[in-house]
Structure 1
Amino acid sequence: MSKKHTFIDLFAGCGGLSEGFYKQGFQGLTHVEYDHWACESLRNRMKYYGYPEDKISVLEKDITDNDIIDQIEFEISNKSVDVLIGGPPCQSFSSLGRAKDENGMQNDPRNYLFESYEKILNHFKPKIFVFENVTGLLTAKLGKEKTVNIILKKLGKDYKLINDPSKMVLNSCDYGVPQVRKRVILIGVRKDIEIDPAVIYKGIIKTHYNPDSIGAEIKNKKKYVSVKDAISDLPAIKPGEGEKIIEHSISSWNDYLTKIRSKNDTVLLDHVSRTHNEQDRNRYKAMSKNKWTFMEMLEKKPSLNHLKQRVFNNSYVVQFWDKPARTIIAHLYKDGNQFIHPDHKQERTLTAREAARLQSFPDDFVFEGSRTQQYKQIGNAVPPLMAEAIAKSIKKVLAKS
């Protein structure tokens, strides 16, 4: 049997990126994550993958701790690390975060979390690293210099990188995830290893085209996975309805459902709707029934105006059956108004399980904690199917190295 390739996951969240690597047979050595409930989800998933109790390793720590390297060393006990993966929290790189902060978030300590990533990378010197972040990273600045250039310079000291940032942007939709989610995926290969990082990018195979694809981009690819493909089998529920665990069987399978649910699985977790006030229910109903934007609703039905009407048009958004979902975000834990269910009869926003489906999490993935905690974990995660496409390409080149 071939030796299992190993990885460490930093800023692991509930383990969306890890999930892709587990699915490809990689061995998780440890995960570093600050959030307690995300850590509980990680531990649970390691157990699911058959790790014995003494090999379940999740460091519930602040990655900026001075002794973090010693702690990781202790956890992995002299095993060599093939791949380091992770995505530092990205609020300070996101355009929305910058717009809200008068200093453009230049003083935000989260800007410098990548330095912890760099410190750990340079200590363990894995063969390959994967650094995930929002596309806002490409335009963000630290002082007068572009953040991405600073990061490329620092991480590129001992690692080969591709030099075209636009080629680092992957859209989860292209890998069969029912969601449009563009992310910067920075992949580096240690300089003494005979692998060109461009080969890894080339090996991240696009299986589907997305709603914006044209011409040759569509050729020999499957159509994007829609919201309907992903969640239409789930029981219809009204606001405040649903159970933590229910029995569920699928009568009409599709290609996507076979990827995220086992044929003999009979239960469904966390399909529980939030309660909504009557005014919101009316908004959801009108918008989903008529396929209106928030602004269209205000024009056609002014009585549904919101007292705190926001200036931007994305405070209330319907996800449409025939398209992939918009980017699932962590804000979901505060309210679900940007994720209104397409079925107007249900008058509600998405459940945690529906959000997880749109992120491509398997149905047997358990998100620990309250519903608020679940939404937060799901919104912050890397879609597992996209992570798996990356892991598959890395596994291929490691097998040859």
Structure 2
Amino acid sequence: MGRLTSIDVCSGAGGLALGLERAGFDPVLLLDHKPIACETLRRNRPSWNTFQMDLLDFDPKKHQEAYRVDLLSAGLPRVKSAATTKRVETGLELRLLKATVHLARTIQPLVLLIENVPELVAAPELEEAREYIQSELGHLGYGFQWFVINAADFGVPQDRKQGVLVALKDRFCDRFLVPAPTVTRHVTVGEALLPSMSARGWSDAEEWAGQADRVAPTLVGGSDNRGGADLGLTGTKRAWAQIGINGAALSDEVPGPDGTQESDTSGSPLKKLTVEQSAVLQSFPDDWIFAGKKTARYRQIGHASPPPVGEALGRAIAEALRR
């Protein structure tokens, strides 16, 4: 069997689609409702068939290429539970989850892959959502595997737990194996960012990298409805501070020879990340272009699925289909 085919919805900056491409999947169609995300996809992969459209409005009957694909993948917006927000999310996120299931029911790919928060896998508050998925797809002959993986186990220098659903047509279900870690030792922030931190000759870059001796906290993209880019809530910013990073904002440049970042007027001795460094922490390739201004670029990165995770999942799915 040669390369496989896929449809990717809620594609964002393309992290999941890029990983799946590396694993042997060529997308026949990608979908995202944000113009900036679609611009990013088109800049990096002009050959991809990218549509700017809300998943809730997508009609596969107008896209015959959507039928007879091997994989439907979705890096959906974070479904929130009481464990993360003190309330159960019953709005847009769950509607998109159900729309993805409806699309799978319509086009019936061999495999459905949904990547989301770990709570989707087991949180009692989201049991109804899980039951809906299994009820809708079960009678169509899909078997299910729910699991949580950590991007750090796949070489991403970040503690990023991801909840995953892989639903396969019954004849393939027993062949799927949850991907095993691809690294025996986690990549630290210092290892990942030393080349960029020292790029302008910062004399203390090696010392900084030595104390940044752990994986990063989870990058978060934040909401489009609030101000500029930062690295998360107060507790997360404290975790960043422990590895020498000021999580209050991003910098326009890496440190100079004396450690100065000209755009940083905070007076803090901690260093600010650049957008490009946040992309490194998500394990995007250096030549992946993110459209938009600084905040828009960072949010695309923070919302993305790290490509190495998509690749590991894609390889496991491809192996199940090819056995």
* TM-score bracket for this pair, using the shorter chain length: 0.7 to 0.9
- The structure 1 residue matched to 2:317, chosen from 384, 391, 394, is 394
* TM-score, reference length from structure 1: 0.64
Q: For residues 187 and 63 of structure 1, do their structure 2 counterparts lie closer, same or farther at Cα, with a shift above 3 Å needed? A: same
**Does 1:121 find its partner at 2:100?**
no
Task: Verify the 8 A CA contact 1:178 1:324 in the aligned structure 2.
Answer: yes
Structure 2: gaps (5+ residues):
201-205, 247-258, 261-269
Q: Which residue of 2 aligns with 1:200?
A: 176
In the TM superposition, 1:99-110 aligns within 5 A as: 99=86, 101=87, 104-106=88-90, 108-110=91-93
Q: For residues 343 and 93 of structure 1, do their structure 2 counterparts lie closer, same or farther at Cα, with a shift above 3 Å needed? A: closer
Give distance in 2, aligned partners of 1:157 and 1:112.
21
Q: Which residue of 2 aligns with 1:336?
A: 231
- The structure 1 residue matched to 2:70, chosen from 82, 92, 96, is 82
Q: For residues 14 and 343 of structure 1, do their structure 2 counterparts lie closer, same or farther at Cα, with a shift above 3 Å needed? A: closer
How many residues are matched?
Answer: 284
Instruction: Identify which range, 37-46 or 337-346, moves more after superposition.
Output: 337-346
Task: Please tell me the residue identity of whatever aligns with 2:125.
Answer: K
Structure 1: gaps (5+ residues):
209-221, 243-251, 253-287, 290-318
How far does residue 94 in structure 1 lie from its aligned partner after superposition?
A: 7.0
Please give the secondary structure, in 2, of the residue aligned with 1:390: helix
Q: For residues 355 and 11 of structure 1, do their structure 2 counterparts lie closer, same or farther at Cα, with a shift above 3 Å needed? A: same
Task: Verify the 8 A CA contact 2:67 2:108 in the aligned structure 1.
Answer: no
Q: Which residue of 1 aligns with 2:135?
A: 153
Deviation readout 1:118-165 (Å, 9 max, x if unpaired):
1110111111111111012232636xx5432333333333243346x4
**Does 1:30 find its partner at 2:22?**
no
Please give the secondary structure, in 1, of the residue aligned with 2:105: helix
Q: For residues 227 and 154 of structure 1, do their structure 2 counterparts lie closer, same or farther at Cα, with a shift above 3 Å needed? A: same
Task: Please tell me the residue identity of whatever aligns with 1:21.
Answer: L
Task: Please tell me the residue identity of whatever aligns with 1:205.
Answer: A
Give distance in 2, aligned partners of 1:140 and 1:335.
31
Deviation readout 1:268-288 (Å, 9 max, x if unpaired):
xxxxxxxxxxxxxxxxxxxx9
Q: Which residue of 2 aligns with 1:293?
A: none
**Does 1:370 find its partner at 2:293?**
yes
Task: Verify the 8 A CA contact 2:157 2:188 in the aligned structure 1.
Answer: yes
* TM-score, reference length from structure 2: 0.79
How far does residue 390 in structure 1 lie from its aligned partner after superposition?
A: 0.8
Instruction: Identify which range, 148-157 or 17-26, moves more after superposition.
Output: 148-157
Task: Please tell me the residue identity of whatever aligns with 1:200.
Answer: F
Aligned-residue sequence identity (percent) comes to 26
Larger Rg: 1
Give distance in 1, aligned partners of 2:75 and 2:138.
17
Q: Which residue of 1 aligns with 2:191?
A: 229
- The structure 1 residue matched to 2:123, chosen from 129, 139, 150, is 139
